[in-house]
Amino acid sequence: MEKQEAKSLGRRLVLVVFPFQGHINPMLQLATILNSKGFSITIVHPQFNSPNHAKHPEFSFVSLPDGLSKSNISPTDLVALISALKTNCEAPFQQYLEEMLKVDDPHDRVACVVYDGFMHFAQVVANNLKLPGINVRTSAVATLLFFAVFPRAHDQGYISFKECLAQAPAPELQSLDFNDVLGPAEIPTPLLELRATVTHATKKASAVIVNTMHFLEQQTMSKVHEYFPSPIFCIGPFHKLAPPSASSTSLLKEDTSCISWLDKQAPNSVIYISFGSMVSMDEKELVEIAWGLANSEQPFLWVVRPGLVRGSEWIELLPESFKERVEGRGCIVKWAPQKEVLAHGAVGGFWSHCGWNSTMESVCEGVPMLCRPYFGDQGLGARYVCRVWKVGLELEGVLERGKIERAIRTLMVDSEGVEIRERAKDLKEKADLCLSEDGSSYNALNELAQHILSF
Ligand code: UDP
């Protein structure tokens, strides 16, 4: 579709962001993609973790009061966060949209509300104002089932895992092992309610956009279609479809000095370690990782985000003997330009918490992974990587330096690692095809644009 087409019809999309790095990145990438298709964009976001407006002069921004800075909610308490955002943002969002709709400019008409699935109140507001809502999954399509499926049958329209697999046994879904990922059979009521609310909003949406590629989750996709009636557009990974000129969406400053350090390393020799923006660990884990890296004798680039280690500012807990041992062979930064790092020829492996963005970024560069999931959808990401696509190894159980050293060597130098690397390269080629002209993500994006124009 030509850019002019949407512009001349005056279509504005209102995107609602969930304010955490792993959600801000894909939502702003999606905004850039939709803008490149000719849609005008307004980004609505809570004040907390505000994106830098100055970096995106092409968008309009609206900041909603959220009350989060005054609360004591932990960033990992998803239920409390989502509930606080709904309580504080729903009314101001509706008020803002009502004002916007009063300005009936035919050259700048609001076509729909495109919201992060965790900002489910946006669908309610869209319904109230008779606007279409499009639900965005910044994670795997499997998370649609993940939120709707439970270890046992429940009322309120939940699906039991057994039921979900009964009609068409799908090896892909068996490998994901929802029973295990979903944790204890007794799920706390507030979490059950959150899953039901998110699922309900998704079912009400006029469409669902997912940051995934169809071939990566083919069997899961068929199952998802059985339970979710709206059209689903898999147009991921967003970071690859976004124009390359798109500005960085990092909340932390990227330390680009690590790129010149990587320039000096041999091809495929470096293991890159990052646990994303939310994971935290204790001092013991930090020290075991450090010695595992030192003893592996591999070069490494390690992101130790301020706040990663509970009770410590940064790496002051690491012993001098470690720093001396790895001098020249290791590079530690507070935050890296991750996409550039993964695309660098020196990087041969990625030890990750398997956040979905990190997983997609690694897949698209053909980098094999060492998986250490902590919470949320990370377990799902790790199962895709290790059991379905078989492009990584899982590091399970207590983190201990000997185990870490062996896992790194297996991935980076042993024959098992060579096979995993081959499969990772194959997966990258398939991803390239999917993103190229007439590939599934490319086509789905055009279909999505047409779908929006049909509202
Ligand atoms: N990221 C980055 N620099 C870093 C670490 C992470 O730019 O040093 C980016 C990474 O590229 C990804 C996002 O932060 O886009 C993390 O999202 P993900 O879903 O992987 O994990 P989360 O932070 O949500 O746990």
As for the ipTM of the complex, it is 1.00
Shared domain check, 223 and 290: no
Placement of tokens 């590629």 in the chain? 213
Indicate if 230 and 327 belong to the same structural domain.
no
Report phi then psi at 44, rounded to 5. Answer: -105, 125
Query: Domain for residue 427, yes or no?
Result: no
Q: How confident is the model at residue 350 (pLDDT cuts 50, 70, 90)?
A: very high
* Residue 101: inside a domain: yes
Which residue's CA lies nearest to atom 13 of ligand 1? 22
Contact 285, 316 (CB under 8 A): no
Name the β-bridge partners of 232: 208
Instruction: Verify that 39 and 147 share a domain, yes or no.
Output: yes
Q: Rounded to an integer, what distance in angstroms lies between the CA atom of residue 349 and that of residue 225? A: 34
Could you tell me if residue 327 is inside a domain? yes
> What spatial distance separates the first Cα and last Cα of the chain, rounded to whole Å?
16
The per-residue pLDDT for range 379-389, each reduced to its tens digit, is: 999 999 999 99
3-state secondary structure of 386: helix
How many other β-carbons are positioned within 10 Å of the β-carbon of residue 211? 26
Residues 132 and 189 reside in one and the same domain? yes
Find the 156 Cα to ligand 1 centroid distance in Å: 35
pLDDT of residue 246: 77
Q: Encode pLDDT of 254-267 as tens digits.
A: 999 999 999 999 99
In a domain, 420, yes or no: no
Q: With a 6 A CB cut-off, is 277 part of the ligand 1 pocket? A: yes
Task: Say if residue 244 is in the same domain as residue 370.
Answer: no
- pLDDT value for 184: 64
**166 vs 215, higher pLDDT:** 215
**Confidence band, pLDDT 50/70/90 cuts, at residue 245:** confident
With H, G, I as helix, E, B as strand and everything else as coil, classify residue 98: helix
Q: Is the CB of 278 under 6 A from ligand 1?
A: yes
Distance CA 144, CA 142 (A): 5
The Cα–Cα gap between 237 and 235 comes to 6
In angstroms, the CA 67 to CA 65 distance is: 6
pLDDT of residue 295: 98
Q: From residue 220, give the alpha-carbon distance in Å to each of 40, 146, 157, 209, 226.
A: 33, 11, 19, 15, 10
Distance CA 225, CA 229 (A): 6
In a shared domain, residues 243 and 260 = no
One-letter amino acid of 328:
G
Alpha-carbon 156 to chain mean position: 28
> Which amino acid makes up residue 70?
K
CA angle, corner 308, sides to 306 and 311, nearest 5? 85
CATH number of domain containing 306:
3.40.50.2000
Shared-domain flag, residues 227 and 337: no
Q: Ligand 1 pocket, 42 CB below 6 A?
A: no
Please answer whether residues 268 and 350 qualify as being in contact, where contact means their C-beta atoms are separated by less than 8 angstroms: no
278 Cα to the center of ligand 1, angstroms: 9
Within 8 A by CB and 6+ apart from 10, the residues are 40, 105, 106, 107, 108, 109
| The predicted structure's pLDDT at residue 248 | 86
Q: How far apart are CA 236 and CA 81, in angstroms?
A: 26
Count each helix (H run) and each strand (E run) in the chain, helices first. 20, 15
Beta bridge partners of 301: 272, 331
pLDDT in the model for residue 173: 83
- Per the structure, how many domains does the chain have? 2
Cβ of 358 below 6 Å from ligand 1? yes
pLDDT confidence of 407, banded at 50, 70, 90? very high
Please confirm whether the linkage preceding 229 is cis (ω < 30° from 0): no
Q: Do 391 and 367 share a domain, yes or no? A: yes
Q: Are residues 194 and 316 in the same domain?
A: no
Q: Is 357 in the pocket of ligand 1 (CB under 6 A)?
A: yes
Instruction: Please tell me whether residues 260 and 366 are part of one structural domain.
Output: yes
* Residue 3 counted as domain residue: no
Q: Are residues 206 and 303 in the same domain?
A: no
CA–CA distance, 197 with 175 (Å, rounded to integer): 27
Closest to 31 in 3D by CA, of 334, 270, 182, 239: 239
419 assigned to some structural domain:
no
Note whether 86 and 179 are same-domain residues. Answer: yes
Q: Which two tokens stand for residue 227?
A: 């339970």
Work out the angle at residue 141's Cα, subtended by the Cα atoms of residues 138 and 145, and round it to the nearest 5 degrees.
Answer: 115
State if residue 361 touches ligand 1 by the CB under 6 angstroms criterion.
yes
**Ligand 1 close to Cβ of residue 250 (< 6 A):** yes
Phi and psi angles of residue 416, each rounded to the nearest 5 degrees, phi first: -60, -40
- For ligand 1, the distance from its centroid to the CA atom of residue 8, given in whole angstroms, is 36
Q: Residue 200: inside a domain, yes or no?
A: yes
Residue 160 in domain: yes
Domain that holds residue 71: 11-249+436-454
Ligand 1 atom closest to 352 (CA): 20
Looking from the CA of residue 334, the nearest atom of ligand 1 is 8
> What's the pLDDT score for residue 7?
53
Mean pLDDT of 402-416: 97
Helix (H) or strand (E) holding 208: strand 207-210
The percent helix, strand, coil of the chain (3-state, each to 5) is 45, 15, 35
Radius of gyration of the chain from Cα atoms?
22
pLDDT in the model for residue 77: 87
Q: How distant, in Å, are the alpha carbons of 4, 144, 192, 208 from that of 147?
A: 38, 6, 9, 14
Residues 55-110 pLDDT 10s: 999 999 999 999 887 777 887 788 999 999 999 999 999 999 999 999 878 788 99
The whole-angstrom separation of Cα 57 and Cα 34 is 15
Q: Mean pLDDT lowest for which of 115-124, 135-144, 162-171, 369-378?
A: 162-171
pLDDT reported for residue 258: 98
